[in-house]
Chains A and B, each alone.
Chain A
Amino acid sequence: MLRYLLNKIALLIPTLVGITICAFAFVRLLPGDPILAMAGEHGVAPARYEELKQQFGFDLPIWEQYARYVGEVATGDFGVSISSKRPVIEEFKTLFPATLELSFFAMIFAMVLGIPAGIFAAVKRGSWFDQSLMGTALVGYSMPIFWWGLLLIIFFSGYLGWTPVNGRIDLQYFFKPITGFMTIDTLIYGKWAAFRSVLRHLVLPTIVLGTIPLAVIARQTRSAMLEVLSEDYVRTARAKGLSSARVIGVHALRNALIPVVTTIGLQVSTLLAGAILTETIFSWPGIGRWMVESISKRDYVVVQSGLLLIALIVMAVNLIVDVLYAVINPRIRAA
């Protein structure tokens, strides 16, 4: 097991180097000049432009800029935002809990609905439920998040008035964050009304962000279940006269969940990508919106360090999933 883990970690190193190159190159491939973006409508005189280029280090050869960047990142220095002048890591630490909280609820939403729906569709294969579920999952998977979010806001918040339009909590609740997770902080402070307000604010963004993972998990669970249900040991279990619920719940589901766990792990990157749009529509103060705003401001430092930090998280989650997979499926360890 240790060897397996070390192998996996060793593989992360070239990935990490690749990511620093991509993050560094992508921002520079974006059309647009950060100094001109900063100067706004005024433009900037040529002499001043050169002066600023030098001040920000954009006059250095590209390899030197990269070496400088990697050197800083290696010492834990993720730089200072060109726009806000705050350290990137500080902004990330402030905003990440909001993204994590939303992603957590979206994942719970996707799993709680997706796994049972997938099981049921597999058991009732070919039924109207199975067909409509798979059709709905396809629609959910193809749903443009921006459109879906606005549609839900206009209907549930605007027309019915059931949910708040956006934000994380009603504005009358005002407290210093402790963990950054609103659900936890309101409970620590013992503010039940504030806690309820947080939950109400989570409803729509959770649905919007969870829609694609829900569709993926439902489809994956269904196909994994179908495969397992046709296995000999399931037939044997049935032949032994076990109840249908026991066959499905114990013999089939536990084995079917192995690929589902991997799928869930892979959805973390989908959630972080989806957060970019979801957070923008719902004014959710997380890292997705932070990245979008930084790209439009051509804030190189935030974009390249933000990309790197997000990639590190995705890599860490993938590593955990790999390990978990090995734990629940010993055949992997031996391979």
Chain B
Amino acid sequence: MKKTMTFAAALLAASVLSGVASAKTLVYCSEASPANFDPGTTTGGNDFDASSRTVYSRLVEFKHGGTEIEPGLADKWEISDDGLVYTFHLHPGVKFQTTDYFKPTRDLNADDVVFSFDRQFNKENPWNGDKYLPNLTWDYYTGMDMPKYVAKWEKVDDLTVKLTLTEPNAPMLANLGMDFASIVSKEYADQLQKDGKMADFSTKPIGTGPFQFVDYQLDSVIRYAANPDYFKGKEKIDDLVFAITPDATARIQKVLAGECDVAPYPNPADIGTIKANKDVTLLDQAGLNIGYMSYNTTIPPLDKPEVRHALNQAIDREALIKSLFQDAGATPAENLIPPTMWSWDKDVKTDAYNPDEAKKVLEAAGLKEIQLWASDRVRPYNPNFQRAAELIQADWAKVGVKAEIVNYEWTKYRAEGKKKDRPGAFQIGWTGDNGDPDNFFATLFACSAIGVSNYSSWCDKDFEDLIQKAKKTSDQAERTKLYEQAQVIFAKEAPAFLLAHSQVYAVVRNNVSGFKMDPLGIHRFDGVDKAE
């Protein structure tokens, strides 16, 4: 009897769910399965593509295809003169998605905003710990230093929220545009808690974003439908499908065969094939990233800027970039931040190739041997650490410096590399989170980042004063000036060898319009259309 019932239920579900997907369906070949659909709890770009950028919205948003902040769920906001209080005014009448597992009874209000952040730090909140999901770590909330800067979130009235900071922090607005700052439904959370189904919050998401979740077949397919109540207007495509395709070659073959409309991250080796195909377009953009090599500035003779400059001058950077990035290409880095980011100073240049000059300085400094670190991992900003190390080793040999290549697996590599007494030159890089220069300068070279992500153990008082002042200044023009000065100091002190900002690619079929490359590395489908 029980079996008959199960079978009948399955057939009923089939009658509702089966069949051919409706008219305008866009298929995106994503690169990996999402860990889950709660963007506060995940860290991967593929997790965010599948949750925060489809299902959810935030108080403020990054401009599509850029890093500038624009209104999101908050129509407008004010920042107090002392930079400590942010008041957000919510867009009225924003509806949470209505699905077969949740029917909202009210519009978005300040309670949802307060709850969205409170759950990420307040240990008393039942959604903060094991009652919701085991071993939650809220990596982005802590990684972006939110516990340090946020004093409190308060509801002023239904459509007004107030954020008070412990000290001025200009990048806060950009932080609130990040994925972890997605606004979730408190009403939905309360309902699940009452029903004893809290874990569903991470598998059946409810948000206010352009698409609503329909179904996920583990490691295979994610399905979304356009949100009919989206506060910025219903999307032009009816259905959005993520076909999870981890292998890069297979992903591109799927786009070429018309099985997918959009796919990210082609192999550099496939770039030529893609360019030769008339049915698809290869989109590219300088990524919001930097590949570099940190010198430990505390260990002689690398504590002397002239030695670091000389090591930089000894490297034939153009040949190195060509060999590493091949057809995929990359923009040689002149500054720590990429040219797409505001405050990038075009007048600042890094060391030019000059082995003769380098040899003189290095001989005088008595530098004969150095450790040169490499790992096994392919990163967007450096596709082959080992090859880079071998080429740099050959260049340095020409100026009389013998480099010993040190290899470790990626996580061990970084753990060893960040130690204050790690010797030599350490290859590493960074992909930006929120388009704010602070996310590069302070994250990578602030004195407080020594032992965490400042692999040069470099602490320069002038540089530090500038970046800390810029962090506390709300006015963007003033911040730009401060960061420009910081770039001059960086170029003068040379705590690192700057390699390149890599190109980021996506392949799109020609009947798709409105898809834009995003400097933040996210893939958004709002505003995308497809011709039949």
Interfacial residues, chain A to chain B (CB-CB below 8 A):
30-33, 36-46, 48, 52, 55-56, 80, 82-86, 91, 94-95, 150, 153-154, 157-158, 161, 164-168, 171-178, 188-189, 191, 280-283, 285-286, 289-290, 293, 298
Contact = CB atoms under 8 A, between A and B. Distances in A.
Contacts of A91: 218
Contacts of A38: 43, 137, 139
Nearest to B410: A32
A197 to B, nearest CB: 11
Contact of B17 (A40, A158, A175, A285): A175
Given A154-B253, A167-B220, A191 B411 contact: no
A176 B14 contact: yes
Interface of B is mostly: mixed
A168 B21 contact: no
A41 B375 CA distance: 14
A50 to B, nearest CB: 13
B32 A285 contact: no
B257 interface: yes
- Kindly state the interface size class of chain B when it binds its partner: 35 or more
B250 interface: yes
29 contacts: A31-B408, A31-B409, A32-B411, A33-B411, A39-B139, A40-B44, A40-B143, A42-B139, A44-B139, A55-B135, A85-B35, A85-B36, A85-B41, A86-B36, A95-B218, A95-B219, A150-B250, A157-B253, A165-B253, A174-B21, A174-B223, A175-B18, A176-B10, A176-B17, A189-B11, A285-B244, A293-B32, A293-B33, A293-B246
A149 to B, nearest CB: 9
A38 B326 CA distance: 31
A209 B297 CA distance: 52
A36 B414 contact: yes
Interface string B440-451: 000100000001
A276 to B, nearest CB: 12
Contacts of B452: 43-46
B27 interface: yes
B10 A285 contact: no
A52 B137 CA distance: 8
Contacts of B133: 85
Given A157-B257, A174-B21, A283-B247, A41 B35 contact: no
A281 to B, nearest CB: 5
B243 interface: yes
Contacts of A44: 139, 143, 452
B13 interface: yes
B429 to A, nearest CB: 8
B385 interface: no
B245 A166 contact: yes
Given A31-B411, A43-B452, A176 B13 contact: yes
A174 B17 contact: yes
A282 B250 contact: yes
A85 B411 contact: no
Nearest to A46: B451
Given A42-B453, A95-B218, A167-B220, A158 B137 contact: no
Contacts of A33: 411-412, 415
Given A85-B134, A171-B27, A175-B18, A43 B241 contact: no
A189 B7 CA distance: 10
Contacts of A46: 451-452
Interface string B231-261: 0000000000101111101100110110100
A150 B135 CA distance: 38
Contacts of B17: 174-176
A43 B414 contact: yes
Contact of A41 (B20, B415, B431): B431
B63 to A, nearest CB: 24
A281 B408 contact: no
Contacts of A32: 409-412
Contacts of A153: 249-250, 253
A267 to B, nearest CB: 25
B36 A84 contact: yes
B156 to A, nearest CB: 32
B253 A158 contact: yes
Closest 9 CB pairs of A and B: A31-B409, A285-B219, A32-B411, A285-B220, A175-B18, A85-B133, A42-B143, A36-B411, A283-B245
B105 interface: no
B142 interface: yes
A72 B39 CA distance: 30
B249 A85 contact: no
Interface in B14-43: 14, 17-21, 25, 27, 32-33, 35-36, 41, 43
A39 B246 contact: no
A48 B14 contact: no
A154 B251 CA distance: 11
A181 B38 CA distance: 29
B4 interface: no
A41 B430 CA distance: 7
Given A33-B412, A37-B411, A55-B135, A165 B250 contact: yes
B139 A177 contact: no
Contacts of B415: 33, 36
Nearest to A37: B411
A48 B411 CA distance: 16
Given A56-B135, A86-B199, A94-B218, 9 more contacts: A32-B412, A38-B43, A40-B143, A44-B139, A85-B41, A85-B202, A150-B249, A167-B259, A285-B220
A289 B472 CA distance: 46
B418 interface: yes
B221 interface: yes
B224 to A, nearest CB: 12
B241 A171 contact: yes
B431 A82 contact: no
Contacts of B223: 174
A45 B142 CA distance: 10
B465 interface: no
Contacts of A161: 257
A33 B135 CA distance: 16
B274 to A, nearest CB: 12
A43 B14 CA distance: 46
B215 interface: yes
Contacts of B257: 157-158, 161, 164-165
Interface in B496-511: none
A164 B243 CA distance: 13
A73 to B, nearest CB: 17
B411 A298 contact: yes
A153 B270 CA distance: 14
Nearest to B256: A158
Nearest to B455: A43
Contact of A83 (B35, B221, B418, B453): B35
B135 A289 contact: no
A39 B221 CA distance: 26
Contacts of B137: 38, 52, 55
Interface string B448-462: 000111000000000
A85 B41 CA distance: 10
Contacts of B33: 293
A280 B139 contact: no
A200 to B, nearest CB: 12
B246 to A, nearest CB: 6
A249 B250 CA distance: 44
A171 B408 CA distance: 41
Contacts of B217: 177, 285
A176 B16 CA distance: 10
B254 A168 contact: no
B243 A283 contact: yes
Contacts of A282: 250
Nearest to A32: B411
Contacts of B408: 31
